[in-house]
Amino acid sequence: MPANLLRIAKAASAPFPASRRTPYASRVLKRPRGLCVARRAEQPPPLPGWVHQSLPPNNNARQAFASRIMSLVKKDRRKKPPSILNVAQCSKSVRVNNWFETLGESEFPDLWEGMLQQRFPMYRFLSESDRRELKSYIRWFVGSKQFEGCAGLVITDEIRIIVAAQACLLLLHRETPCYERLRLIRVYPGTHFAQSSTDTAAGESWQHGVVLLAWDSVRGGAANPFDGHNVVLHEFAHQLDQEDGQADGTPLLGRGLAPAEQAGVYTSWARMLSTEYEELRRGIQKGGKTVMDSYGGSDPAEFFAVATECFFEKPKQLCKRHPELYAALKRFYRQDPAAWAFDAPDGTNTALPATAAPPRN
């Protein structure tokens, strides 16, 4: 590692008290095989309280934080490829596995378009250019990712398109490799599936490229875009978080930037996420009403996933109550849902007359 880059990371890193030797940005969550389990409560980690404290310059924890920042910077040094939209526009056709005919350069079946209009109301909020880009991503997604029905569920066009539409909503405007590790989406019937003899979940994200979803929860989350609960957004936010090999609430952020700039971006993100995570935890402990679901207080990885749900489904409330968090997610996702979400006159989100999303367990 170049000495000048390490000095930049050291200078940019925020200090924390000597009693907390594991910095927020370098904490490794102890999960079997990188598993991120949605909707399951667990013992929350200690509050990160290092943001506004001072620390000796040669402290080992500060060195660890700098190393973590630079490891993320190195993983971001990849050649920036053309966007999926441009790839789709330049190619003559896209092969969609063996279950559908070859699609031409600009084809998007009317059946798929009807599914988006009827089953995914958020699609109607997008601009025409964003719709075209989303449809290109959907065609790429269903053609490159495998779907598997579990517990007797038969995979249909509707399942593929509704899952793909919500997962690809996170990719608009990014123009970077996405979901590179993802290879398989397993879909179960009902609102939850069994994890063990005692535990159930609506979704799981595995670090080695598998996502598990309960179809009724997927369908309910798509139908109600205003309740802040969406299992597909949640699990695929985990996939983005896990691209750097860790589930820690810090996805790859600095692609396309110089190494010195990347160090500053990661440091700023770590400070913001630590502060916002701590604020949510305090609100939960006080028993007050929070914009984000209390499940986001489980750990930093779950915080990022829950914040993503609220960013797209409760954007104005999140922007009002957590402006710094909203601004950071806006930069990361390169979208501004508060500008296109259909809200009630009082400023709160109003659900469409559709099937309500199932409760979290």
**Residue 45 Cα distances to 22, 30, 187, 244, angstroms:** 11, 11, 31, 21
- Taking only the tens place, the pLDDT of each residue in 204-234 is 999 889 999 999 999 999 999 999 999 999 9
CA distance 327 to 150: 39
Dist. CA 324–CA 319, nearest whole Å:
8
142 pLDDT higher than 60: yes
> Which structure tokens are listed for 119?
């089953």
Question: pLDDT at position 72, please?
Answer: 57
Prediction pTM value: 0.70
Compute the Cα dihedral for 314, 319, 323, 326 and give only its sign.
positive
- Residue 153 in tokens: 């569920």
Q: CA-based Rg of the chain, rounded to a whole angstrom?
A: 20
Q: What is the pLDDT of residue 141?
A: 93
pLDDT of residue 125: 92
Decide if pLDDT at 166 tops 80. yes
Whether pLDDT at 164 is above 90: yes
For the cut 80, the answer to whether the pLDDT of residue 88 exceeds it is no
Q: To 5 degrees, how large is the angle CA 77–CA 275–CA 360?
A: 90
Between 61 and 201, the more confident residue is: 201
The pLDDT assigned to 314 comes to 94
Model confidence at 260, in pLDDT bands (50, 70, 90)? Answer: confident
Q: Which two tokens stand for residue 45?
A: 């980690």
Residue 55 pLDDT exceeds 70: no
| Lowest-pLDDT choice from 87-91, 126-130, 220-224, 275-279 | 87-91
Q: Which of 15-19, 123-127, 198-202 has the lowest mean pLDDT?
A: 15-19
Q: Return the domain boundaries, the chain.
A: 84-236
Note the pLDDT of residue 218.
96
H helix runs in the chain, sequence order? 3-12, 60-76, 84-90, 110-119, 128-144, 157-169, 215-223, 231-241, 259-286, 300-313, 315-321, 323-333
The yes-or-no verdict on residue 353 having pLDDT over 50 is no
Nearest C-alpha neighbor of 187 from the set 146, 147, 222: 147
Q: How many whole angstroms separate alpha carbon 28 and alpha carbon 18? A: 19
Distance CA 298, CA 270 (A): 17
pLDDT band at 99 (very low <50, low <70, confident <90, very high): very low
- Please state the CATH superfamily assignment of the domain spanning residues 84-236 in this structure: Glucose-regulated metallo-peptidase M90, N-terminal domain (1.10.472.150)
State the sign of the Cα–Cα–Cα–Cα dihedral 298, 304, 308, 311: positive
Rounded Cα–Cα distance for residues 112 and 168 (Å): 15
Could you tell me whether strands 210-214 and 36-37 are parallel, antiparallel, or unpaired per DSSP bridges? unpaired
The pLDDT assigned to 44 comes to 41
197: three-class secondary structure by DSSP: coil
End-to-end CA distance of the chain: 45
Residues in the chain, total: 361
Q: Could you tell me which of 58, 46, 66, 54 has the C-alpha nearest to residue 270? A: 66
Q: Is 146 helix (H, G, I), strand (E, B) or coil?
A: strand
Query: Within 10 A of 311 (CB to CB), how many other CB atoms are there?
Result: 28
Q: In the structure, what pLDDT confidence band is assigned to residue 60 with cuts at 50, 70 and 90?
A: low
